[in-house]
């Protein structure tokens, strides 16, 4: 049994949480967000996806 003061039971403070939406998303970020390893082909597809959908391209992957 764990103690209720265990650090794992303490919620993360809001000021430490972030979505990444504070800065620009590059195609490599988008590929990695999909769980894949960036390859030239996937990076190019991600670049086109970002051009078409903007930052919403990430939200389509990460709710």
Instruction: Note the pLDDT of residue 1.
Output: 47
pLDDT digits (tens, 9 = 90+) for 12-43: 787 776 666 667 889 998 999 899 999 999 99
Residue 19 lies in a domain: no
Residue 62 lies in a domain: yes
Helices assigned H by DSSP within the chain: 27-33, 40-53, 56-61
pTM, whole model, 2 decimals? 0.63
Domain total of the chain: 1
Residue 17 lies in a domain: no
Supply the range of the domain harboring residue 54: 37-63
Contacts of 27 (CB under 8 A, 6+ apart): 38, 43, 44, 46, 47, 50
């Amino acid at each position: 049994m764990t103690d209720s003061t265990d650090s794992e039971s303490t919620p993360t403070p809001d000021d430490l949480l972030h979505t990444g939406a504070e800065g620009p998303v590059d195609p490599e970020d988008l590929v990695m967000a999909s769980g894949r390893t960036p390859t030239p082909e996937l990076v190019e597809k991600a670049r086109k996806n970002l051009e078409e959908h903007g930052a919403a391209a990430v939200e389509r992957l990460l709710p």
